[in-house]
Structure 1
Amino acid sequence: MFVLPFFLFSFSPSIIHPFHTSLTQMEFDPQRQTFEISLRLFTDDFETALTKENGGKSVHLNTSQKQDKLVEQYVRKHFAVANADRKLNPITYVGYEQEADAQWIYLEMPYSAKTQNIFIKQDILIELFTDQVNLVTIQLNQVKKTVVFRNNQPVQAVTI
């Protein structure tokens, strides 16, 4: 009696994950004077975005064929950090890796502690999902701050 509802719930493709969210962690390394940045995205959502970015040609990230060029292109289009004068900080793409049902994307960004006001753009996957929520956690020395990005707020001023 309970087997059929459980079976339908367990294998329904539309119930893979009921929410659309990403997590970005920015952790300052004082010795290197850089932020180590990692973005965590659900693989199925990210592959959908990359397929769209790739002109509709299907993209799969869990294969031996790496998609670094396409991943970097997409991330640069949807994630950026600028100083108070809105000059973009240079970001180095490091790579990506699979973990369970998610992808981790790694970036590095030099940072001068002189600047405390920055602008962050984080609109990854917002073009696909109107309910997309992107959390950005910034850790600088002993201070930790989380900023929430939504469809109506893809760019925000942050004081760190």
Structure 2
Amino acid sequence: MKNKYKITLLLAVFTLMSSFAIHKFYVSVTQIDFVPKKQRIEITSRIFIDDFEKVLKKKYDKNFYLSTNKEIAEADSYIQKYLEEKIKLTINNKSHKVIFITKEVEDDVLICYLKVQFSEKITTFEIFNSVLTEMFSEQKNIVHTDINGNKKSVLLTYSERSTLLEF
């Protein structure tokens, strides 16, 4: 009887551990800095490559093979199109176009560099970030900002995709 109990307990522990191993963590981290000397806002967004490829494939019906030797030639234009739709900034109550600059890879993360030309004093700053939320409802988009010397961080989710910061 004791052996049967031990086997059942071991199976329960194994099942529990397996379920934790299968569960995936969906997160992106975006840093937004206002750089008055360059008259622009610089955006660096870190997104897991495999999740990003899944979303791009579903949205555009193409295999992108990001950051491999099989990456499709027009990958950057699709990334720009996607990020312009999913990351939006409204500064001082006016929408501004986010421009994709380039990308690089660090381990299993795609780092995307974007910018917004801007030279005025910032009083209000609204951030919309719905990266990957259309496919992963548990996606969390962490946004760190450094604007006018004020550092703030926000967590955006499927249900809360935007926030307004005042300075």
The TM-score bracket by the shorter chain reads 0.7 to 0.9
Spell out the pairing of 1:1-160 with structure 2 (5 A cutoff).
Answer: 15=21, 18-55=24-61, 57-64=62-69, 65=71, 66=73, 67-85=75-93, 87-160=94-167
Q: Which runs of 5+ in 1 are unaligned?
A: 1-11
Q: 1:115 to 1:29 in 2, by over 3 A?
A: closer
Aligned residues: 147
2:11 aligned residue? none
Runs of 4+ in 1 over 6 A off after TM superposition: none
Cα 1:38–1:17, aligned 2, differ >3 Å: closer, same or farther? Answer: farther
Unaligned runs of 5+ in 2: 1-17
- Distance between the aligned counterparts of 1:144 and 1:17, measured in 2? 32
What percentage of aligned pairs have identical amino acids?
30
TM-score, length-normalised on structure 2? 0.79
CA distance in 1, matches of 2:125, 2:34: 14
Structure having the higher helix fraction is 2
Amino acid at match of 1:52: K
Q: Deviations over 1:65-91 (max 9, x none)?
A: 351011111101100101243x31132
Task: Flag the structure with larger Rg.
Answer: 2
1:89-142 deviation per Cα after TM superposition (whole angstroms, max 9, x unaligned) = 132210111110000000011234423112111000001111110011001243
Matches of 2:22 and 2:76 in 1, distance apart? Answer: 25
**Does the 8 A contact of 2:80 with 2:99 survive in 1?**
no
Alignment RMSD, CA only?
2.2
